[in-house]
Structure 1
């Protein structure tokens, strides 16, 4: 079956790549329905647990939640556009604003998940450098740098001029872009891919070191319990990271070549578009995983949720064990900090 195409007024064929979006929109709607309650519960739990002593990981988790909320706000616009239920002005708005917001949220999530994995490893490695990297002030500064860098890269995609095109049922966002906008879009993709590669390197190094430390602590029961907790946390976040973001970046660069007219074959462009949409769907799936990570990684958040939910209020034994483990970890950290301070 030949790929669908329309003939423009000048006689040139226009390749339509986004005419099979209904299955994707169904999955996006399901993700939105499943993830919205968990993320709203996360907002409430973080607000309720705000009096707890802040840690560097809590800073990264809050920023990850902000990225998730941005994605939840932008996702309905994509759903309406892909369903063909949006008016023309709303479709153009999605291409210029909400689509860019989706990618800001996506790469913010990548950066903060990498920082969370690194922070979890550093909790088990009390050195002078790791203690300084785990300071709350440093975590806030690093989070601010991440957001500013992403806004600097992404916002020009909203501001650069677009060209007027005739109203059509299947609008491709790249068709709205002028040459300068397409060039900046390609540069944005490669810069964000570089950010992903650096984040992936941090994930691989932290995961490998956490596993190495776990294997090296088998002879010491106390160190083994602590290293096992950290390695389990690192493995859980790394698994979500790999599942959600690696497939998308395998097809992102080839698809960008199709957007910038380096690849012109219509059938190839359609296949790359479907591959991009399929893997983007996996990336958006982290909206469902992140509330579980909040619950698993941050003890004050977990206690707050258990107090809020009637079915979990009787789990006092787990709370006591978590509190003891946290106090032991904080005590070890305090001793290490005192040792660092006492050095001339």
Structure 2
């Protein structure tokens, strides 16, 4: 008579069926902590400087401040991801991350992508001084476009917070897709493809700006007066485009097949693990822009750079003057004592 299966074998089968993909997060956690430590002071300082600076009435300043806001939101959502990836967070906090803070990460990420695309396009228009008749560089138009972007992203992403999730047993290595089923899982897949469409449109704007800047540079070979401005425009736009491509293209190359694994179109566990690790590495590369965007804002907005420089200079002068003031106080103390003796 065949013996019944043991508890260990049934548990092993359940573990194998669940296919844990996020049990190798050590390196990611360390890198995310470093990104958080570096990016939080930089973004707070940049926002403070932007508020206290005499902001230029330019469209690029509108896009830059929206970029800083989206970066700050993404930075503040990172601790929840770190705690969840550590596997030590309470179960309620892990579920909260999947429903709320993870959605905030992607809202902020795509806001950063779109505003970086706008900055690249605006930079080309500003350097080339073209298309002024279309009024694309007016502050009012930039504010309206920024508002539309935020509303569009909220419309796409917020249902992921509101749609119901299924109950699962508490587990250390929770995959957020395990909480989704039915309508929630389908909307999640739709969200990914809608965001992919936004990314492709933003990429088209970045590549078009880069191509027009290069065309202008090649067309100015016979005119030395135009060549300096064309070279400056091409260098500026090419640097922004290169940073955009390096940060965001690898993630979107992996995102679609990984979504198919989440939607259970891809079922092989080994493939799902590889896709998850690829997604995490490319997402880390995309999040890395948080450390460099404050430098970008200071580079592109001179009033902001001036405010930061003045703040750091005042801080340095105060630190240098402190020992001098202390020495002066020590010198005055004996003199005061001598005066008291003379009076007596």
Verify same fold: TM over 0.5: yes
- 2:252 is aligned to 249
Distance 1:103 1:8, change over 3 A: farther
Provide the rounded CA distance (Å) in 2 between the counterparts of 1:303 and 1:12: 58
Provide the rounded CA distance (Å) in 2 between the counterparts of 1:146 and 1:103: 13
- 2:49 is aligned to 45
Instruction: Give the alignment of 1:172-211 within 5 angstroms.
Output: 172-211=175-214
- 1:270 is aligned to 273
Equivalent residue for 2:150, pick from 129, 147, 150 = 147
Asked if structure 1 preserves the Cα contact closer than 8 Å seen for 2:192 and 2:256, the reply is: yes
Equivalenced residue count is 309
- 1:109 is aligned to 112
Provide the rounded CA distance (Å) in 1 between the counterparts of 2:50 and 2:314: 20
Instruction: Give the alignment of 1:1-344 within 5 angstroms.
Output: 7=11, 13-49=17-53, 51-129=54-132, 132-310=135-313
Structure 1 segments unaligned to the other structure (5+ residues) = 315-344
Asked if structure 2 preserves the Cα contact closer than 8 Å seen for 1:61 and 1:294, the reply is: yes
Asked if structure 2 preserves the Cα contact closer than 8 Å seen for 1:35 and 1:287, the reply is: yes
Provide the rounded CA distance (Å) in 2 between the counterparts of 1:267 and 1:11: 14
More deviation, 284-293/11-20: 11-20
Taking structure 1 as the reference length, the TM-score comes to 0.85
Q: Deviation of residue 220 (structure 1)?
A: 3.7
Q: Deviation of residue 47 (structure 1)?
A: 1.0
Provide the rounded CA distance (Å) in 2 between the counterparts of 1:62 and 1:153: 22
Provide the rounded CA distance (Å) in 1 between the counterparts of 2:253 and 2:47: 33
Asked if structure 1 preserves the Cα contact closer than 8 Å seen for 2:55 and 2:61, the reply is: no
Asked if structure 2 preserves the Cα contact closer than 8 Å seen for 1:7 and 1:14, the reply is: no
Provide the rounded CA distance (Å) in 2 between the counterparts of 1:10 and 1:75: 31
- 2:341 is aligned to none
Asked if structure 1 preserves the Cα contact closer than 8 Å seen for 2:128 and 2:233, the reply is: no
Instruction: Write out per-residue CA displacement over residues 33-70 of structure 1, whole angstroms, 9 at most, x where no aligned residue.
Output: 11122111101110111x33320000000000010010
Structure 2 segments unaligned to the other structure (5+ residues) = 1-8, 318-344
- Bigger CA radius of gyration: 2
Q: Deviation of residue 218 (structure 1)?
A: 3.8
Provide the rounded CA distance (Å) in 2 between the counterparts of 1:224 and 1:85: 58
Q: Deviation of residue 223 (structure 1)?
A: 2.7
Distance 1:302 1:223, change over 3 A: farther
Provide the rounded CA distance (Å) in 2 between the counterparts of 1:176 and 1:8: 21
- Superposed CA RMSD: 2.2
Q: Deviation of residue 313 (structure 1)?
A: 9.8
Asked if structure 1 preserves the Cα contact closer than 8 Å seen for 2:127 and 2:232, the reply is: no
Q: Deviation of residue 181 (structure 1)?
A: 0.4
SS state at 2:267 partner: coil
Asked if structure 2 preserves the Cα contact closer than 8 Å seen for 1:240 and 1:289, the reply is: no
